[in-house]
Structure 1
Amino acid sequence: MLNHDIRFWAWFVCQAQKQFSTTHFAFVTALASFGLGLSPPTSAQLLDAATAPIYVGSQACQQCHRTAYLAWQSSDHYQSMQVATGVNVLGNFDDQHLDYQQQRNRFYRKGKQYWVNLKDGNGEFRDFQVRYTFGHFPLQQYIVQFDDGRLQLIPFAWDARSKQQGGQRWFYLYPEVDPKDEFYWTNVGQNWNYNCADCHSTHVEKNYHSDTNQYASQWAEINVGCEACHGPASRHIQWTQQRNNIDTNATDVDYGFDRHLGKQVLSWQANAGQTTLQPTQVTATDQLNTCAQCHSRRMQLAPHSSSQRDFADSYQLSLLDAELYYADGQVYDENYVYGSFLQSKMAAKGVVCSNCHDPHSGKLQLSGNQVCLQCHQTQHYQANNHSFHQADSPGNLCVNCHMPTTTYMQIDARRDHAWHIPNPNRSAQSNSPNPCLNCHQNNNHQWAQSQISAWFSGDAKNVTADDSASKLADKPYYRAFLADNTSHPQAEKALAYVASQASYSAIVRASALQRLGRYQGKYATYAQQTNAYDSNDLVRRGVILAASHFSVNDKWQQISPYLTDSKLAVRYAAIESLVLDWQQMTPNQQQQLSLALPEYIESQHYNSDRAFALNNLANIYRAQGQLDTAIHYYDKAIKVEPFFDASYINLADVYRQRSESKKVYSTLIAGIEQSPDSAALRFSLALHYIREQQLLQSIKYLQQAVKLAPNEAYYHQVLQQVQRQQRGAP
């Protein structure tokens, strides 16, 4: 069962007293939990230093930390998820209707309960009770619960903006999806337990039971509470007692917590010839790692614990690939800030989130340009010598030029946190946002470039038509990424240059290495070897990705040392790259890999509510020749996520290994029925027909694959070859 409300700890905090009696604690626990959540700690557990730290709830913090607590109550974190009550529900459920595709959806109440009538996954209208709210501004979503423990976000959201802004209305979030789409509301793309829980609630235990395909998820706190960032607070309470009763001069900087969330730069100074302040005193902090847990596009590899303070011990960050970012690094799809921030000069200088944002309210520390002018010296960044816009105009706001917005979910505008310098020519080539045109909509890139060039006396030079490798790799790095996106003949050399230059940020170098995984030339090898011992885990992971197409022996030589890397994200990537070559390995290599495999397998089981993880498990057993076990996991993947095309393709390949032609065909046909827009499934079926010497059928499905994926060059090549063979041409 899920915990249906936050537990209240009225006297849990020591307050200002010198002592904290177990009698007080016993009274507190008697007042505790409203629901069936995680069990409250006992007094012995709380005060025992040997006991693992325990979550106690944000209510325990307010007595001593009143200001921070009130700020938190005004934050997006506080509203990240709440029980659907009259206090929290913003949407109009007074028997409201929304017509979509000539069908009526209803929002209504039953007493104090909130209900919706809408289509389920089978296309039938049903009534669902809204259990929880999800967010609050500029839109609020709503969650319903299924009998198998799944929490799903309904497809309709409430526009919480004012009527003047076009809000106070119901709208359909994903109008282009159908019941066979991953993001249809009853499918995995809108599942809270896997996609949302880890960031929208505190200390979530997913508790997915793979054998029954059910959840029994729990949380310590329904929303993002104090302990989501600070960690479990029981030892902090113990620390207060030691400080008050034993050591009045205690100087423990973390106050009993296991992480330090302070700023990284403790002091800044102005240096001659520089227009921004420079760091002078830098200290270690866990702040970025902590914020990045949620404010990033990433995959969770394992349940994070308080002992895993580094991001890469629990998560694998998405790099700057073409599906998420433009070639110049500006955000395209949702990346939730961290991947953009790592590209910035501010990240390199030691700026952290709390330099700009209040850590408890989430709001900016200062208004307007003042937050930027903390470090960017005012005399150098005036309207007349930097923005060249009137002081009170939108064009003079730093964020409008350096942090352009991208709108997601139709109305949610989010700012890019890489702080790129506007370059209209770069935007024109990369097809990326040009912030100048957000205001000057009747002009074009060329006009904007001429203005900038005139203001800054040529600092923003035009990009030449020179497409030599040196030019492609020259700063900014986008030329190399754009060359890769367009299959330019010099792309490999340009990417290798970017990957090998320490002046680029780690995420840029790692992303260049990732892209080099497509190439097998000497430049890819050089870049891989140059970065093999880099201190940054992103770059080391990039090295693994760059070697992904090496021969088996070369790959083992380059990647096997990372099987014992200090970071889980790197070890995970190494195992994933090597395990499919199991049959070609020596017994000694297999033994070494076997020692690393359990951790990787455990990660797949943790994510076994998704088809990709079940496919990874199946791939291991298939590589080891255990085909029955592989089939079991491919079948399970299809059951869990019937629209995931790779499961059908991989399962069909196993049947091909077994020479079971009929099962190859039936598996791929079933996949096409479930995933009708998959070009890969049609291509796989075409290959099956080629092996069966049925060329006309092969051509039919190759043509369909090409139509669905017109930019996939290999599909075109195979189609042309088969057509020539059908005509009898040499």
Structure 2
Amino acid sequence: MLSSPASLRGKPRYRLPLLGGLILATLLAGCGEKHENGKSASTDPRTLGPLPITHRPERLDQIGEETCRTCHADEFRSWGQSHHAHANRPIDPTLDQPAFDPTRKLVEGDSQYRMEWRDGKPWMIVDEGEGETTYPLDGVLAYKPLRQYLVPFPGGKWQTTTAAYDPAKQEWFDVYEGQNRRPGEWGHWTGQGMNWNANCAYCHNTEFDKNLDPVSGHYQSEWTRQSISCVQCHAGLAEHVESATEADGGILPRRLNAFQVEASCASCHSRRDDLTANEFRPGDSFHDHFGLTLPVYPDLYYADGQIQDEVFVFGSFEMSRMGHAGVTCMDCHDPHSMELTRPVANNSTCMWCHEGGVDGAPVIRPVEHSHHAEGSLGNRCVECHMPKTTYMQRDPRVDHGFHSPDPFLTRTQGIPNACSTCHTDESIEWAEEKVAEWYPEKKVLTRQRDRAQAIQAAWEGDPSIAPRLMELAKAEPIPAWRATYTGLLTPYAGNPDVQEFLNQSFDDPSSLVRSQAALAVGRAETLAPEFDDLLADPNRNVRLAAARTLNNRREPITRPATEEEWEEYLLFNSDRPQMAFILADRAIQAEDAEAAEKWLQRAIYLESPNPELLREAAILYSRLGNSDAAARRLEEAYSLAPNEAIYPYSLALIRAEQGRAKEALQLLKISTRLDPGFDRAWYNLALAQLRAGNPAAAYQSLNRATSLRGTENWIRAYQAIGQALQQQQQ
């Protein structure tokens, strides 16, 4: 059994054995239980098949879209044409057979796929160099511009194919074309990164529960309906349906304000961390259930905040002046069709606010502002301020950060700009000149440049950037940017001025800022007494950030309710390697070697060909006292990345621990050859050479180490060896 005092005993409902719960439910239901539609659970066709339409037919009958349709026909029609209505579905021969019949073939890197229709359903035959394997395809993810298919795997897992079908072009392609993802990798279609239960299903189905059993690692996922229907966004539907008549609406659904509606949108249209076990419901606070991803780390956003990787809208919108001004999703989008309520071509989407300055919006005259002719693409607001980035090869998505194009940042930092995207025949310098000529006093460009330059410097580890980040944070009105600057101060938290700033940020009105401050201050030598107050913060994202910091510092989480939230968070996300590592570390602290071993095996299973993950596992095995297992993991890592100095270096430390000094010495020499700038490798090589009776070589190695990073201890050792060598010569 996978258990530990620190993780699996006597805590909230998420720790109940899932199988036992299912057995109990079966006994209570009995074989002949009838639903409101007169069908038993065992015969209702909606509950049958490998990927049923619903696991909760009673609930679906009560609050499903067909119930709402009677009185809300127009809304039903709008919804029926939306992406939400087609987000996830069973196989439909009418819709799907043309993609497989006649047989189609696809080659991606070292993988060959054959798509066939036989026995009334689709199949995928895969050859990745070790012979063919045939997989049934039992479900469909998404609608337009592409469809991916779902493959059942043992343990209740469903995997999403990277081979996708473009219904408009009627052709197959790979969403990660050119990456040649291999079996065992996180992002391979059989890997955990493409697992439907953990990564896709919540946002493609109604009232989805992942139901991960943390003991076995198996899923018993359930949902009320495939695809997104009414109850996913509306609160209080059950009471409304029960009380409504044709003459009287009865108890109306709970009216949500614009920001509560936006939180429902953001629950899916964001790149975020799940803080609860699929517990968000319409009307809840986003920050009580999700941790929003911001540009604290590179490669997700460009340094000015433009989208780079898939970040799914809400983070960009939170960083925008539009979002800060109070604009929300439904100001532009129809809540049922999701389409824009006003046309883009004539700028009506934007001009209904910006033509007359509604609620303080800047007044814009499009032709005068854009310097492009009426009716041209260059005169459309969205072409300049909401540029598109294509993901998954076929899916263009617009940026909701509403930035101003700036060719200067393209030239200096490689950040794209809309001018050059359109005017491909012109130089960056030409675009810069035009922007300077047309917008000589545009303050937004100064703000964007200040922001981009500081963030890029922080990403690159500039040791002098902390004062600038604090200056920008103090002047920043938008909470998401203030939180970003705060998070970027993490490496500098040992600086007293930075620590004081972070402590003051504990009182920021934004939970985004408070949560980033709680994480960043973890690098400080000591925590201020006020830090404990964060464990009782009104927002869960702050409480869990504080819990993570204490966990990383191996200090106790002193508030029992927050400790419970932290454990539930870890277990719900234990299908992620990093969470399994944290659970292993907690088990080691609790002196539960068996549980630690199990969690380490889980983490490695989830992404075994990742050398850095194997190195992390080796560190924990070493702490567990199992140097042999640590060495095996480092050998695997070294074989996967033979040109990375960190792996022979780490293996050398284990060999030294095992008393295999000669091997350690050779590995350290390899490490310094691979990376001559690796200061710690030179230092440890010096120690190994000294132990081997070669002080002259040790002196030379320490000379290299101290020239790269002159710590006080290293310099003293260097001087001591130098003096000893001089005495020998005398």
TM normalised by structure 1 equals 0.80
Structure 2: segments with no counterpart, 5+ residues: 1-17, 19-33, 49-53, 358-362, 690-696, 701-717, 719-730
Please show how residues 322-721 of structure 1 align to structure 2 within 5 Å: 322-368=298-344, 369-377=347-355, 380-459=363-442, 476-501=450-475, 503-519=476-492, 520-551=494-525, 554-555=526-527, 557-582=529-554, 590=556, 592-593=558-559, 596-643=562-609, 648-657=614-623, 659-672=625-638, 681-689=647-655, 693=661, 694-701=664-671, 706=675, 716-721=678-683
- Which residue number corresponds to residue 190 of structure 2? 186
Q: Secondary structure at the match of 1:286?
A: helix
Residue deviations 1:38-94 (CA, integer Å, cap 9, x gap): 33348xxx9xxxxxxx96322211111111111111111112111121344363432
Amino acid of the residue matched to residue 124 of structure 2?
V
Distance 2:134 2:332 in 1: 44
Amino acid of the residue matched to residue 98 of structure 1?
L
- Which residue number corresponds to residue 263 of structure 2? 289
- Which residue number corresponds to residue 317 of structure 1? 292
Amino acid of the residue matched to residue 38 of structure 1?
H
Distance change >3 Å, CA 410–CA 186, structure 1 → 2: same
Distance 1:549 1:673 in 2: 33
Amino acid of the residue matched to residue 219 of structure 2?
Y
Residue deviations 1:596-617 (CA, integer Å, cap 9, x gap): 3222111111122222221121
Amino acid of the residue matched to residue 39 of structure 1?
R
Cα offset, 1:682, TM superposition: 5.0
Distance change >3 Å, CA 76–CA 663, structure 1 → 2: same
Q: Secondary structure at the match of 2:615?
A: helix
- Which residue number corresponds to residue 70 of structure 1? 77
Contact in 2 for aligned 1:327/1:479 (Cα 8 Å): yes
Distance 2:39 2:90 in 1: 23
Cα offset, 1:227, TM superposition: 1.4
Distance 1:388 1:478 in 2: 26
The answer on 1:39 being equivalent to 2:56 is yes
- Which residue number corresponds to residue 146 of structure 2? 139
- Which residue number corresponds to residue 233 of structure 1? 237
Q: Secondary structure at the match of 1:425?
A: helix
Of 306, 326, 348, which aligns to 2:281? Answer: 306
* Identical pairs, percent: 27
Contact in 2 for aligned 1:55/1:227 (Cα 8 Å): no
Cα offset, 1:312, TM superposition: 1.5
Amino acid of the residue matched to residue 226 of structure 1?
C
Please show how residues 16-165 of structure 1 align to structure 2 within 5 Å: 25=36, 34-36=46-48, 37-41=54-58, 56-89=63-96, 91-101=99-109, 104-119=112-127, 123-161=130-168
Cα offset, 1:225, TM superposition: 1.2
How many residues of Structure 1 are paired with residues of Structure 2 in the alignment?
637
Please show how residues 158-177 of structure 1 align to structure 2 within 5 Å: 158-161=165-168, 167-174=169-176, 175-176=178-179, 177=181
Cα offset, 1:338, TM superposition: 0.3
Cα offset, 1:440, TM superposition: 0.7
Cα offset, 1:159, TM superposition: 2.2
After superposing the two structures, state which structure 1 stretch, 293-302 or 636-645, moved more. Answer: 636-645
Q: Secondary structure at the match of 2:263?
A: helix
Residue deviations 1:195-219 (CA, integer Å, cap 9, x gap): 0011011111212223333222111
RMSD: 3.1
Distance 2:536 2:444 in 1: 46
Contact in 1 for aligned 2:232/2:281 (Cα 8 Å): no
Distance 2:122 2:209 in 1: 26
Q: Secondary structure at the match of 2:352?
A: coil
Amino acid of the residue matched to residue 534 of structure 2?
Y
Contact in 1 for aligned 2:36/2:58 (Cα 8 Å): no
Contact in 1 for aligned 2:405/2:417 (Cα 8 Å): yes
Amino acid of the residue matched to residue 558 of structure 2?
Q
Contact in 1 for aligned 2:57/2:224 (Cα 8 Å): no
- Which residue number corresponds to residue 51 of structure 1? none
Distance 2:562 2:217 in 1: 27
Residue deviations 1:583-608 (CA, integer Å, cap 9, x gap): xx5xxxx4725553222111111122
Amino acid of the residue matched to residue 351 of structure 2?
L
Residue deviations 1:382-404 (CA, integer Å, cap 9, x gap): 34311111112111111110011
Cα offset, 1:690, TM superposition: 5.8
Distance 2:111 2:404 in 1: 47
After superposing the two structures, state which structure 1 stretch, 454-463 or 334-343, moved more. Answer: 454-463
Amino acid of the residue matched to residue 518 of structure 1?
P
Contact in 1 for aligned 2:232/2:282 (Cα 8 Å): no
Q: Which has the higher contact order (CA 8 A, sep 6+)?
A: 2
Structure 1: segments with no counterpart, 5+ residues: 2-22, 47-53, 162-166, 265-284, 464-472, 708-714
Cα offset, 1:343, TM superposition: 1.1
Distance change >3 Å, CA 292–CA 305, structure 1 → 2: closer
Cα offset, 1:618, TM superposition: 1.6
Contact in 1 for aligned 2:148/2:160 (Cα 8 Å): yes
Contact in 2 for aligned 1:140/1:158 (Cα 8 Å): yes
Contact in 2 for aligned 1:325/1:333 (Cα 8 Å): yes
Q: Secondary structure at the match of 1:171?
A: strand
Cα offset, 1:678, TM superposition: 7.7
Contact in 1 for aligned 2:668/2:685 (Cα 8 Å): no
